[in-house]
Amino acid sequence: MRIRQAMGTGLLAALIFFAAGPSRSYAAGQWAAQQPLSAYSVPNSALLQPEQLNRLLHAPAAQRPLLFQMGSRVLFDESHIPGSEYIGPGAQPAGAERLRARVARLPHNAFIVLYCGCCPWSRCPNVGPAYALLTGLGFKNVRVLYLPNNFGADWAARGFPVTSGR
């Protein structure tokens, strides 16, 4: 009976592991199977509220951050923060490689703000991997725009600046 219970427990754990499935996220310079990095993997100290970013957008040019949109191209073309650059989904290898290439020549103290806004923060697959990639590369001044609902509700509908197109 105990053997059957132990086998059942082991089998249950294996089924849970394989049902969840390995996800792909950025680690140590390679895409590796591991737990997904969600928006919740970004430390609170790295979060930037919309009001804070809006103030930074009106600051002198030398104080403004580089803005990287880590979501879909369709959403970027529809509406994005003026001056932001489309990088692509941070959860996908192509987006990670574009981000890596974009920052390759930047100093590690560059002020970078990442944002997505394609879905609620609790389900965002893009900012966590992008943040992990940049901090893993040694960037020290990376912040993530906190959009609890989505870009439309938490940025555009609140009257913060937007632009459309590429």
What is the distance between the alpha carbons of residues 20 and 43, in angstroms, rounded to a whole number? 24
Q: Residue 36: pLDDT band by 50, 70, 90 thresholds?
A: low
- pLDDT per position as a tens digit, 56-114: 999 999 999 999 999 999 999 999 999 999 999 999 999 999 999 999 999 999 999 99
What is the distance between the alpha carbons of residues 5 and 1, in angstroms, rounded to a whole number? 6
- pLDDT per position as a tens digit, 99-144: 999 999 999 999 999 999 999 999 999 999 999 999 999 999 999 9
Ranges of beta strands (E only) in 22-103 are 23-27, 30-34, 47-48, 66-69, 85-86
List residues bridging with 80 in a β-sheet: 163
Q: Residue 165: pLDDT band by 50, 70, 90 thresholds?
A: confident
Q: Decide: 72 and 150 in contact? Cβ < 8 Å.
A: no
Domains of the chain: 2-158 (3.40.250.10)
Choose between 10 and 151: higher pLDDT.
Answer: 151
Q: Decide: 114 and 127 in contact? Cβ < 8 Å.
A: yes
